[in-house]
Amino acid sequence: MTAATRPDRASHAARIMPGPAAIAEAMLAAGCRFFAGYPMTPFTEVLETMAARLPEVGGVCVNAESELEAVGMAWGAAATGTPAATGSTGQGLSLMQESLAEIVYARLPLVVLNMARAQGDYFQATRGGGHGDYRHLVLAPCDVPEAVELTQLAFHLAEKWRSPVLVMGDYYLAHTHQSVTVAPLDFGPLPPRDWALDGRSGGSGAAKLISPLSDAKQRHAAGRADAGYDLAEFYHRHVAVMERMVAEEPPRAETEFVEDAEVVVVAYGTPGAYVRQAVRELRAEGRRVGYVRPITLVPFPSEIVAAAAAGGRTVAVYENNQGQMLDDVRLAVLGAAPVRFIGGLSLDASGFGIAPDLDVAVLKARIAAVHDAAAPAGDAGHDGRGGAA
Amino acid sequence: MQREILWTGIGGQGIQLATELLAAAAVAEGRHAMFFGSYGGMMRGGNSDTTLVLGDAPVQSPPTIGATWSALVLHPAHAAGTLAKLRPDGLLVANSTLCTDIGGHPGAVVRIPATELATAAGSANAVTMVALGAFAAATRIAALDTLIGLLPEVLPAYRHRHIPANEAALRAGHRAAAPLVDAWAASGAPEEAAV
C-alpha cells in the first residue's frame, strides 16, 4: 500500500522543482506562516526558499543565530497557534533535542525537517535525544512528490494531535529536481485552536497556559489561591494522548512483490527508491524478491513487515548506517524469519554527498547474495534461468 | 516509456542548466521528469554530471542510475563512468571539438563540434546548449521552440541578458544535427504543450 497518488500525466500545473523548493512550497500550501532555521547543508536550501517566499504570503522567516534559537522561535510561534516549522540536519537537530522534548510535553503543533546526511539519524528521529517519555510521528519520503504530500500531511497531523511531527529527508532529496504539482491537500477537519495563546494575560479571566509543566494551575486548594501544578495528572493525561496518537495513526508503507517473495528487503527514504529499482530488476531476472518501504517511521509499519516476512522468509534490511531501523524490523519479525543486514555507512569524501553503495548494481548483488544463500539445497531459489548453483 | 539521459562535462560548460532546461521542456510537453546533478568544488574544470530521467508516467527511478538510453559527452575528462553506463544500443552525443577519442560505441553516435559552434554563435560558454539543440534535432526529445521558450524560466533574472546567446546556441546545434530516432515514437502523444 502506498499513500502516494500521482496522475499518469504531468498536469500543466506541474513544474520541475528542486526538492527544497518543493518542500518549502508544500509548507506554504499547508498554511505554514513561521519558519526559523540556521544554515547547514543540505538544509540550507529549504531555509533560503522560505526566506524568499514566506514574506510574500504574510509570514515570517528568521535566519536564527543557532539551531537552539531557531527551535525556540518556532516554539513561541507555535504557541500562538501559527502553523510553524523549523529544521536542520541531524547535527542541528541534536541541538534542538531538549526543546523538542519540551514542545512535545507542551502539546504544541510543530513541523520539524531533518534534511539528513546519510541515514545516521534514525534513532534520533524515532527514539529522540531529549528527556522524558515522549514520542512524536516521523514521516520519511523517498522522492520529491512524496515529500510534497508528506510535508503537508505533517502539518495536518501536528495540528490534529498538537504534537511535533518530523519529516525525514536526505541529501538526495535536497539535490534532486522532479516534476511536481504543489497544491493544498485536504486531509480532513481539524479541532479548533482554542488552546492557542491570544495575548490575554493573567487577571483578564481568560489567560491560557501552555507549558511542558502543565496547562492548568490548581487553584483554591488547601485554602490557597494558587496551589501550583499537579504534574502527575498532567503527564498521565499527556501520555494517554500520545499513546492514542501512535496507536490510531495508520502506519504507512509501500510494498511490492511480497506475496511470494523468498527475500523481503526493508529500506526507507531515498535508499528505498534504490532498493525498489534493484528488486524490480531482480524480479525481471527471475529471483523471487520483494520489498517493504516504511513511509511512517513512527508508527513503524510492524504489522506490514511481519506479514511480508510470514512463512519463514528471509528479511534483508538496507540502511545507510550501521543498523538502526534494523532493530525495529527485528522487533516486527520477532524471530519468525532470519533478518540479514545488507547496509552500512556509505559516504563520499564530503561526508554527506553521494553514497557509493547507493548504486542499483551494488544493491542487486547484496540482495541476490541473501536470496541465493537462503534458497533450499539443490534449489537455485529462482526460476533457474539465471543458472545459480 | 522512460528515457534516460546522462550528461558529463566540466564546470562552466552549462551542464546543470541545460539539463534543467530539457527537464522543464519535457514537463511543459506533458511528461514527467527527474534529474540529479553532481559537480566538483571547482567553478571551472571540475566534473559536472547530471542524471535526467523523462517518462510518460511518474518517474520512480532513484536519483542515479546504472544504465542509460543516451549520453551527452561535452568533455572527455570525467566521461568514463558515463560511457560505461551507456547501453550498447544507446545514443551517444559527443562534443567532437574536445572529444577526439570516445572509444568504440557500437550504437548510434552524433558527433557535433559543440565548442566550435557555440563560439561561432557568440558564446563558448553555451556549448551544452549547442549539444542540447543537436540532441533535440536528432531525437525529437523536445521541441526546439519549447526549449527556447523556457530559457527565461530556467535562467535567473540577473542572467537574462544571456538569453539571446543561449537561443543562438540551441538553434546552431539544432541546425547541425539530422533526425536520427524518435525518442517518443512508441509512446502516446503528449498533452498539448503549455508553452
ipTM of this complex: 0.91
Which range among A134-148, A237-251, A338-352 shows the weakest confidence by mean pLDDT? A338-352
In the predicted model, is pLDDT for residue A6 greater than 70?
no
Q: Specify the number of domains making up chain A.
A: 2
Domain boundary among A163, A180, A197: A180
What pLDDT, on the 0 to 100 scale, is given for residue B44? 66
* CA angle A173–A176–A181, rounded 5-degree value: 90
Residues of chain A positioned with their CB less than 8 A from the CB of B23? 16, 177, 179
Mean pLDDT, chain A, rounded, equals 90
Which of A57, A60, A49 has its CA nearest to residue A113?
A49
Tens digits of per-residue pLDDT, A304-328? Answer: 999 999 977 899 999 999 999 999 9
Asked if A177 and B32 come within 8 Å (Cβ–Cβ), the reply is no
Residue A221 resides in a domain: no
On chain A, the residues whose CB falls within 8 A of the CB of B31 are 10, 179
For residue A303, is it within any domain?
Answer: yes
Q: What is the pLDDT of residue A152?
A: 98
Q: Which residues of A touch B (CB under 8 A)?
A: 6-10, 12, 14-16, 143-145, 172, 175-179, 270, 273-274, 276-277, 353-354, 358-361
Indicate yes or no: CB of B38 within 8 angstroms of CB of A354: yes
Based on the fold, state whether residues A40 and A170 are members of the same structural domain: yes
| B37 in contact with chain A, both atoms CB, cutoff 8 A | yes
Q: What is the pLDDT of residue A5?
A: 36
Domain co-membership, A273 together with A166: no
Cβ distance A389 to A377 under 8 Å? no
Domain boundary among A154, A180, A206: A180
Domain that holds residue A75: 15-180
Q: Is residue A385 part of a domain?
A: no
Are residues A175 and A263 both part of a single domain?
Answer: no
pLDDT tens string A205-245:
888 888 888 887 766 555 666 667 788 888 999 999 999 99
Measured distance CA(B98)–CA(B115) in Å, rounded: 8
Q: Is residue A37 scored above 90 in pLDDT? A: yes
CATH number at residue A32: 3.40.50.970
Domain-ending residue, one of A164, A180, A196: A180
pLDDT at A382 over 70: no
**Do residues A44 and A156 share a domain?**
yes
Q: Which of A8-12, A41-45, B184-188 has the highest mean pLDDT?
A: A41-45
pLDDT for A9: 53
What's the rounded mean pLDDT across residues B120-142? Answer: 96
The pLDDT score that the predictor gives to residue B121 is: 92
Q: Does residue A228 lie within any of the structural domains? A: no
pLDDT at residue number A212: 85
Regarding whether A142 and A41 lie in a shared domain, the answer is yes
A279 alpha-carbon distance from chain centroid: 23
**DSSP letters spanning B177-190:** ------TTTTSPPP
A166 and A44 in one domain? yes
> Domain check: are A159 and A275 in the same one?
no
pLDDT tens-digit readout, B32-65: 999 999 887 665 678 899 999 999 999 999 999 9
Q: Between the CA of residue A143 and those of A168, A169, A180, A253, A388, what are the distances in Å?
A: 11, 9, 10, 14, 34
The b/e string for B149-165 (b: 16+ C-beta within 10 A; e otherwise) is: bbbeebbeeeeeebeeb
What confidence score (pLDDT) does residue A229 get? 79
pLDDT value for A215: 80
Provide the CATH number for the domain around residue A354.
3.40.50.920
Q: CB neighbours of A109 closer than 8 A, spacing ≥ 6? A: A78, A83, A84, A155, A158, A159, A161, A162, A163, A164, A165
The reply to whether A173 and A283 lie within a common domain is: no
- What distance in Å separates the CA atoms of residue B12 and residue B116, rounded to the nearest whole number? 16
CATH superfamily of B2-113+139-160: Pyruvate-ferredoxin oxidoreductase, PFOR, domain III (3.40.920.10)
